[in-house]
Amino acid sequence: MATIILAKPQRSIFLLILFFTIFSFSTSLAITEDPSDEVFSKFISPSSLGLTKREKLSHLHFYLHDIVSGKNATVIRVAGATNAKRTASTSSPFSFGSVYMIDDPLTMKPDINSTMVGRAQGLYSYASQSELSLLMVLNFAFTHGKFNGSTLSVLGRNNVLSTVREMPILGGSGVFRFARGYAQAKTYSINFFEAIVEYNIYVFHY
Ligand SMILES: *[C@@H]1O[C@H](CO)[C@@H](O)[C@H](O)[C@H]1NC(C)=O
Ligand SMILES: *[C@@H]1O[C@H](CO)[C@@H](O)[C@H](O)[C@H]1NC(C)=O
Ligand SMILES: *[C@@H]1O[C@H](CO)[C@@H](O)[C@H](O)[C@H]1NC(C)=O
């Protein structure tokens, strides 16, 4: 009984010394083998990136022109089963699996000849087997005013027959660094030639 009581603190002191020996050894090893000019990651102050200002909330409003036919079409189908090759699993009436690439102009007014503010570049694909629903993966590349050269990135679900579709804004570049927010899309007009979609974007940025 007495030997156990004596042995316990001795053992823990030994383990403690062993621990510190290994720990200080590995620390000195790390310092000698990892020069400070090869640091992979470190904490920095937000002010070093000019993030001292308060976050701003911007509302952007524009019209997207998805021109599906004619010589100035802005949409191209890049993948998907053709009608002839449809199998039982791809015979969905909702174009399931089709992928389209877009380079759509964005204008201030519904008129395509009104001031252009940028382009929507990316892709949408038909992502549902039971309804008309798109997966949107695109960048809004702005070319107008203080947003010229800045982008916003969208990744979301576009249930095209709903009156208003909401998609997350995951980030951005330029004045939209650290951006986050959402986009609301509403069909303005649609025919066999083009779809005009009204966009309202609400985004936090610095
Ligand atoms: C197609 O684009 C060209 C060059 O931008 C333009 O001159 C022409 O009017 C456009 N055609 C149509 C049908 O919009
Ligand atoms: C836009 O301008 C082009 C040529 O400049 C013209 O052909 C076209 O009809 C105009 N579109 C609209 C909607 O006014
Ligand atoms: C946008 O920026 C580009 C490159 O800096 C410049 O060439 C262009 O004139 C600018 N456009 C507008 C509308 O300010």
Confidence class for position 91, pLDDT limits 50, 70, 90: low
Which numeric CATH code is attached to 56-80+93-205?
2.40.480.10
Query: With a 6 A CB cut-off, is 173 part of the ligand 3 pocket?
Result: no
Q: Which atom of ligand 2 is nearest to the CA of 111?
A: 13
What pLDDT is stored for residue 1 in this prediction? 42
pLDDT of 10 above 80: no
pTM for the model: 0.78
Residue 113 CA to ligand 1 center (angstroms) comes to: 11
Ligand 2 pocket test, pick from 112, 188, 191, 193 with the greatest ligand atom count within 8 Å of Cβ, gives: 112
- Is 204 buried (19+), middle (13-18) or exposed (0-12) by CB count in 10 A? middle
Kindly state the average pLDDT of the residues 29-35. Answer: 52
The highest-confidence range among 6-10, 19-23, 68-72, 91-95, by mean pLDDT, is 68-72
Residue 71 CA to ligand 1 center (angstroms) comes to: 8
Q: Domain boundaries in the chain?
A: 56-80+93-205
What pLDDT is stored for residue 112 in this prediction? 96
Q: Which residues contact 95 (CB under 8 A, 6 or more apart)?
A: 80, 126
- Is 60 in contact with 203 (CB distance < 8 Å)? yes
Ligand 3 pocket test, pick from 142, 143, 147 with the greatest ligand atom count within 8 Å of Cβ, gives: 143
Kindly state the average pLDDT of the residues 127-155. Answer: 96
